[in-house]
Structure 1
Amino acid sequence: MTISFDWLKTLFPTTLPAAEIGALLTSSGLEVESLTELESVPGGLRGVVLGTVLTCERHPDADKLSLTTVSVGDDTPRQIVCGAPNVAAGQRVVVALEGAMLHPSTGEPFKIKKSKIRGAASEGMICAEDEIGLGQSHAGIMVLDTDLPDGTPAAEYFGLGSDTEIEIGLTPNRADAASHYGVARELRALLGQPAHLPDVSAFAAPASGETITVTIEDDQACPRYAGLLLDNVQMGPSPEWLQRRLRSIGLSPINNVVDVTNFVLHELGQPLHAFDADQITGGKIRVKRAEASEKFVTLDGVERSLQAEDLVIADANGAAMALAGVFGGKTSGMSNATTRVMLESAYFAPAVVRRTSQLHGLKTDASFRFERGTDPYMVPTALKRAALLLQEVAGARIAAPVVDEFPHLIPNNQVHLRLDRVTRLIGQEIGEERIREILEGLGIKIEVATGNEWTLAVPPYKVDVTREADVIEEILRIYGFNNVALKPHNSASFLSGFPNPDPEVVRQKVADLLSGQGFSEILTNSLTNSQYFEKADAPDASLVRILNYNSQDLNIMRPTLLTSGLEVVRHNLNRRQRDLKLYEFGKTYQLGENGKYKEKNVLAIYLTGNVTAETWQHASQKAAYHDVAGAVQQVLAALGHPQPGSQPTQHPYLAGGLTLLVQNQPVVNLGAVSPAVLKRLDVSQSVWYAELDWDWLLKKYKATLVARELPKFPEVRRDLSLVVDLGVTFDQLRTIAQRTEKKLLRDINVFDVYAGDRLEAGKKSYSVSFTLQDPTQTLTDQAIDQVMQKLIQQFEKQAGALIRK
């Protein structure tokens, strides 16, 4: 579920930053999965201000250019060369200052720099609307009518504000929080501040008028149904503020009527539906069960065969116009010719909506909420809110009184609460006054308080609070799990894992992994020869020297495991053992600039010779970079870091290779050992080497068991061939793809690389596969093409890629 922080603040005014609000919601059980900054205009118009043209003269060396001086609110007016035909002295204008990054409506972003144009200095730019991404016009500069002082940020003048998209992993039991107002209610309980419903006091319906009658024929399936007739409706696009609100939560605007119903749904959690009133035969609505095998065409143009258990909204003749709480019908939907609208706001039984939704494979925002349980007492408020908005954005007129059929009131759920039970289940005494505050914030009323026992009235929108234990869980959520102190004598009837891993257990786990891949563990001496590391005329001050060494070959503590490992390789090569896969856990030692000794645990991996032996079926295969890299990747994955970043290595003993990054921390160096080092240690064949920072990896070790539900819908593969500069790495392409498509992209893989005479110099070609999957539905060709088009655009923009057809 996506929440707009800016929208949320209209219902729960707060000065707390979005990150703090996100932490509060997570602590109470509404897990915030991500916080994403949104901008109305790319770049947020940073560095763009209001100014006044003080002077305007023709450029001495160009007929179509003007030489202006512009005040931007400081002591020094700017000289700006302007090519717009409408620039003149005295105008209030929009000025991009030096250093501002502009994002035009078309074309690439560009930075404003101090420059000379036809010999005249220009210290900024007077902007047209397309140059700052606010429109398409390039006929001339924007001329403003405002009293705001020079230097005022343009974003403030245009009402552009940043927003934060809050992504909440809503659990099925929290239907009460499936809206902005639902989240505001949660914050009310957490912070003890009021949450405000939208003001609908201006709603006024006529005492009489032509209306549409409503008959509920199954009040168990539909306990409440309200309708309102509006006329003089002018169909069209929504105003910018409404479109911006919908886009902030990932919805696409459709038209003003549909947009209002979607807006109210996500604001209050109450689904609405709009019928074209002129298509309601007989001026009557019947809420009834469908006829068996009745044919019904939904808004998506699909003809469906209904069953007798389906609840429908029908006209006077009994013909279905909508699947109640799920989807509307094609014949009664909005069109450009619609002028009269019947707004529906209702409460449907969750089980009925759930069955229809599953039977017909229809999952909508409305069914998501109805099948989990909505608030029956929000029905009239949502109806009035929508009517007032339609008056504002569509010129609608309320034509008749509200029709509200509510044959049987839905009572609050009564729960008996024992205070000593609260203390026992939580394990800590909270205090009667604090419990009262929490219950009040949650909207739960105390009807009777007799000593230790209270009778509570739980509102119907709290669908998951039906027992004493549920109420205690609510109290604990708001009180805070972190506020419950752990006592020394606390005990449990089971043994849980300890949070800090046993270093020997983790080491053995990795050792078993490498041994299972055919590697042999070695154990070498911590003492080595200083001549491996020193030049003849430059002693290495970082070496840890042995003061009373017995042998010149063992006169320092090793600064790296590489040399002692290469000694083992040399020993085996001299005995005709040329195919080696080795690893070692060991310590390295260095003397820091501050005179303090540094001891570090390292895992070293060595690979040389062939990785597969020669047989009658296939030839032998020499060890390569990807063999040692694959072993390293498996070690990192076993330690909880499956997708490290990478950059070219700067390791002094390697001839090329990569440094792998985890959480932007360099933790692995791997590549081919430098020929100079091999020659110094008299090793006669190439060696691949990897060095892992074992201390850091052990510190960040995460022993997590990840379980996921098996996907119900198929994955799709698409391939691209990209021509890029030689310096562009696959890791950069993978990062671009993961940032561009977070929801559907499951995997990205390179299956071919080519650099040769068929490409221009300095270029190479990657053949890349993309695996896409939606866990909620089968992907359509249209959705797949949209994703691939986004990826192509970003590869072209960020990596300078050419897509080969």
Structure 2
Amino acid sequence: MDIKLPDSLLRQYLDTPATPREVADCLSLCGPTVDRLHQTKTDSVYDIEIITNRVDSASALGVAREAAAILPQFGFTARLKNDPYIQPDQFPPGRRVAAGDIPSRWKHDSPPVQVQILDHSLVSRFVCISLSVSPPTPSPQETQGWLTDSGIRPLNSIVDISNELTLRYGQPVHIFDLDKISGQKMILRASKRGEKLTTLDGVTNTLKGGDIVIEDGAGRLIDLCGIMGGQLSEVSDHTTHVLLFVMTYAAAPIRRSSLYLQKRTLAAQLFEKQLDERLVLPTLIHGIKLFQDRCSGSVSSSLIDIYPAPEDPTTVHLPLSLLEKVAGVNIPVHKIDSILTPLGFKVHSSSDSLKITVPTFRRFDISMPEDIIEEITRVYGYFRLPSVLPTSSLPSTSTSPLLNDEVNIKHLLTSLQFTEVYNHSLVSSQLVALSGHKTTDLISLSNPLSEEYQYLRASLIPSLLQSLSVNLGKSEPPLQLFELANIYLPAEKLPQEISTTAVVSLGVDYLHFKGLLDVFFERLHLHPTFSPAGPHHTFTATSLKVSVSGQVVGYLGQIKPETCLKLSINQPVLAMEVNSALLSTLLPRNLTFKPIPLSTPPVRDITISSKKPVSDLLDQLNSFDPAIYEVVYLYSHQDKHTFRIQLYRPSGIAKKEIDSLLAQIASKIN
């Protein structure tokens, strides 16, 4: 997320002589990146990029804390002041703020409202108090300038307090008109599907359920929690009693609601990144002071502080040897302390290690020694680390043969007049039905973008048929398409990804299609066998099983006519789908060169009577004798099959030897 921060607001928490430009340059080198520093009529404004896991720095306080640690690394004095976690003007030095620290002059016997939280997993801390205030007036010019420079429109002295506190601390604050809360009762719960709530922008929102909302005593929804307040509790020009409440909500429901409702408010962007519960009460205390100063405010109730499970700070042990090993440089302990202490860490050193207490506002991104090392080295300055190339050689890696084989298969199919297409790996239930698979047998997404992209496909053919249907009438037949991509099959843990090649042809007869595939396998130097496949979910009953070296690699046949009709294809479609990954393992890697004959080899036609498949006869002829250079199948009539044979020996071959070889073929191959 990006924030705009006026320099004068930053200086409320940062004491340094550094200029805005120097602050921006140092921060960008070691902390949050300042994308732009620009000047307004009265102030300098930083445009700062805040990374997702560092929501603690998305405020004037957070940036000041970073600057207090970083600026001294560049020779500038800097210190953090007005730390809300420690209130030296109100509490004993070094004491952490707690609910019991509310001054006695702010304490009352009666609570502001009756608060009921139905699901404590939705809110980890909820603090509120009521105040009597004068009607709203324009805010001080300084406050209006801060809000304007930060991209927020100033409204009035009451509403502007909540926005100012958010800019100061990165902790969203809500203010309700107390007199508008029916029955002085607030029920915080998850919304029900179909409930409606009108927010401050005048939009009536229909909720999907599971949103965090507040209901008053009359059963009305008065707040879309963590995102935007409701119109029913809106502060008006006549407001004289306000409810000031600060809280931390569960991150996931806030993000979900803000996305589907398209309300990406600053509050939503902060809450969805998990805020620190210990900042809630100091923020509320500062809010009370602002109401006293600007709205003649006086506390009119006791404090409600619902905090069922306080988080204690965590500790991380860092061996100094690990720091030196990872950073590549020896950083003195006193230097480490000067880096981590301004960032809110507590450092306890021993002879060989550090025990570091992590502040609660960093507990979500600091959990192990490497996280601490990253903090130390980034503030120390990555540019200060020695630029030394690794002394060890990089390990050699080998490319998977499958990648090269896939490229070769694509070039080969393209040379056979097939056109490559690319389809999405996610398909709809309608396409799944075309493949004959059940949706329960496939891998489905739990949060698909649409119903068209819900299942990972287990076959390429349905997508190819869809591509074929789309291109009908746009070009003259034949239409021949192919795709080489992964299919996805369920497995115990991760899906099984299998490289697969599929081809479809429309407008060619079976013999022509089979001839193309014969050339395809021949150029791959493979000798497949074809056998009846039996019933198949995609092909007709005449489909064939394709095997290489005894392993089934795919299927070949005509697509079922009823499947084609569902896609408005009224002509026969022939297809083949093979396992490219398995084919790759079966490809011969060491090929034997066969020299071109120096003279024209003699040619003989021979007819063989046999009931064997022609493919088996071709295999037998090719391996019968080294003198057989090439065998071409010509035609068949009943059980008689005619072949053309070229014969060649480098030393020459006599007519008598040819006749003897043909006689042996006639007698042994049948």
TM-score by length of 2: 0.53
CA contact (8 A) 2:176 2:242 kept: yes
* Structure 2: runs of 5+ lacking an equivalent: 73-77, 91-102, 397-670
Mapped pair 1:170 → 2:70: no
Cross-structure match for 1:722: none
Question: Partners in 1 of 2:51 and 2:344 — Cα distance?
Answer: 20
Distance 1:366 1:7 in 2: 19
Match runs of 1:196-215 below 5 Å: 196-197=81-82, 201=89, 204-209=105-110, 211-215=112-116
More deviation, 256-265/349-358? 349-358
Identify the residue that residue 186 of structure 1 maps to in structure 2. 66
> Structure 1 residue 419: deviation in Å?
1.9
Query: Equivalent residue for 2:301?
Result: 400
Contact kept? 2:127, 2:303, Cα under 8 Å: yes
Are 2:120 and 1:219 aligned? yes
Give the secondary structure class of the aligned counterpart of 1:313.
Answer: strand
Pairing 1:311–2:212 present: yes
Alpha-carbon separation, structure 2, partners of 1:11 and 1:406: 27
How big is the shift at 1:311?
A: 1.2
Q: How many Å separate the matches in 2 of 1:38 and 1:367?
A: 28
Task: Give the distance between the partners of 1:14 and 1:252, measured in 2 at CA.
Answer: 29
* Deviation of the 1:247 alpha carbon: 1.9
Deviation at 1:197, TM superposition (A): 2.4
Residue 458 of structure 1: which of 352, 358, 363 is its match?
A: 358
Aligned mate of 1:248, from 140, 149, 165: 149
Does residue 326 of the first structure (1) align with residue 328 of the second (2)? no
Cα separation, 1, equivalents of 2:205 and 2:79: 46
Where does 1:726-741 land on structure 2 (aligned, <5 Å)? none
Within the candidate set 252, 260, 264, 1:351 is matched to: 252
**1:254-311 deviation digits (Å, cap 9, x = unpaired):** 1111111101100111100111101112212222111232111111111112233111
Aligned partner of 2:311 in structure 1 is 410
Provide the rounded CA distance (Å) in 2 between the counterparts of 1:459 and 1:27.
23
* C-alpha contact 1:296 1:320 (8 A) present in aligned 2: yes
What does residue range 267-666 of structure 1 map to in structure 2 within 5 Å? 267-446=168-347, 449=349, 451-462=351-362, 463-487=364-388, 493=394
Relative to the length of structure 1, the TM-score reads 0.44
Over 3 Å counting, the alpha-carbon distance change for 1:241 and 1:15 in structure 2 is: same
Partner of 2:80: 195
**1:449: how far off?**
5.0
Task: Give 3-state SS (helix, strand or coil) of 2:46's partner.
Answer: strand
Whole-angstrom CA distance in 1 between matches of 2:392 and 2:215: 61
| C-alpha contact (below 8 Å) 2:31/2:70 kept by paired residues | no
Q: For each residue in 1:197-217, what CA deviation from the matched residue of structure 2 results, as whole angstroms up to 9, or x when unmatched? A: 267757641333452132332
Among 205, 229, 246, the residue aligned to 2:130: 229
For 1:432 and 1:210, the matched residues in 2 are separated by 50
How far did 1:457 drift? 2.5
Query: 1:675-694 counterparts in 2 under 5 A?
Result: none
Checking the alignment, whether the CA contact within 8 Å between 1:282 and 1:316 is kept in structure 2 is: yes
Cα distance in 1 for partners of 2:270, 2:109 equals: 33
1:688-735 residue CA offsets vs partner (Å, 9 max, x unmatched)? xxxxxxxxxxxxxxxxxxxxxxxxxxxxxxxxxxxxxxxxxxxxxxxx
Whole-Å separation in 1 of the counterparts to 2:10 and 2:133: 31
Contact 1:233 1:397 (C-alpha < 8 Å) held by counterparts: no
Native 8 Å contact 2:16 2:79 kept in 1? no
Is 1:7 the counterpart of 2:19? The answer is: no
Q: Measured at CA, do residues 279 and 488 of structure 1 come closer, stay the same or move farther in structure 2, by a change above 3 Å?
A: closer
> Which amino acid counterpart does residue 456 of structure 1 have in structure 2?
I
1:13 deviates by 1.5
RMSD across aligned C-alpha pairs, in angstroms? 2.3
Q: Supply the distance in 1 between the matched residues of 2:269 and 2:393 (Cα, whole angstroms).
A: 39
Look up the SS of the partner of 1:15 in the other structure.
Answer: coil
Measured at CA, do residues 215 and 276 of structure 1 come closer, stay the same or move farther in structure 2, by a change above 3 Å? same
Match of 1:774 in 2: none
In structure 2, relative to structure 1, the CA distance for the partners of 1:327 and 1:492 (3 Å cut) is farther
- The amino acid of 1:8's aligned partner reads L
The aligned residue for residue 28 of structure 1 is 30
Deviation per CA, 1:372-413: give whole Å up to 9, x if none.
122211101111111211222222221122211111102223
- Residues 174-211 of structure 1, C-alpha deviations (whole Å, 9 max, x = no match): 21110000001101222454312267757641333452
Asked whether the equivalents of residues 233 and 341 of structure 1 are also in contact (C-alpha less than 8 Å), the reply is no
3-state DSSP of counterpart to 2:28: helix
Separation in 2, partners of 1:346, 1:492? 54
SS of residue paired to 2:112: coil
CA gap 1:250/1:304 in 2 versus in 1, 3 angstroms: closer
Report the Cα offset of residue 317 of structure 1. Answer: 4.6
Contact 2:166 2:173 in 1 (8 A): yes
Structure 2 Cα separation of the partners of residues 450 and 218 of structure 1: 45
Counterpart-to-counterpart distance in 1, 2:393 and 2:136: 64
CA distance in structure 2 between the aligned counterparts of 1:3 and 1:181, rounded to whole angstroms: 11
Q: Matches of residues 692-703 of structure 1 in structure 2 within 5 Å? A: none
Alignment partners' CA distance in 1, 2:392 and 2:69 = 31
Return the alpha-carbon distance in structure 2 between the equivalents of residues 16 and 406 of structure 1: 40
Cα distance change on mapping 1:299 and 1:416 into 2, 3 Å: same
Quickly say closer, same or farther: Cα 1:198–1:419, change in 2 above 3 A. closer
Q: Residue 23 of structure 2 contacts residue 71 of structure 2 at CA under 8 Å; is this kept in 1?
A: no
Work out the CA distance in 1 between the residues paired with 2:28 and 2:284. Answer: 31
1:489 Cα offset (Å): 6.2
Gaps of 5+ in 1: 41-162, 496-805
SS in structure 1 of the partner of residue 186 of structure 2: strand
Residues 684-763 of structure 1 correspond to what in structure 2 (within 5 A)? none
Give the structure 2 partner of residue 58 of structure 1: none
- 1:468 deviates by 2.2
Classify the secondary structure of the residue corresponding to 1:39.
coil
Q: CA deviation at 1:354?
A: 1.2
Give the secondary-structure state (helix, strand or coil) at the position aligned to 1:275.
Answer: strand
Give the secondary-structure state (helix, strand or coil) at the position aligned to 1:441: coil
Secondary structure at the counterpart of residue 183 of structure 1? helix
Conserved 8 A contact 2:345-2:359: yes
1:167 aligned partner, one-letter code? D
What is the Cα deviation at residue 238 of structure 1? 1.2
Three-state SS of the structure 1 residue aligned to 2:341 is helix
Q: Which has the higher helix share?
A: 2
Shift of 1:320: 2.1
Q: For residues 38 and 302 of structure 2, what CA distance do their matches in structure 1 show? A: 43
When residues 198 and 386 of structure 1 are mapped into structure 2, their CA distance, relative to the original with a 3 A threshold, is farther
SS in 2 for 1:223: strand
**1:433/1:494 Cα in 2 relative to 1: closer, same or farther (>3 Å)?**
farther
CA distance in 2, matches of 1:186, 1:404: 30
The 1-side partners of 2:151 and 2:391 are apart by 47
Is the 1:416–1:468 Cα contact (8 Å) retained in structure 2? yes
CA contact (8 A) 1:234 1:395 kept: no
Distance in 1 between residues matched to 2:111 and 2:361, nearest whole Å: 33
Cα 1:24/1:289, change in 2 over 3 Å:
same
What is the deviation of 1:439? 2.0
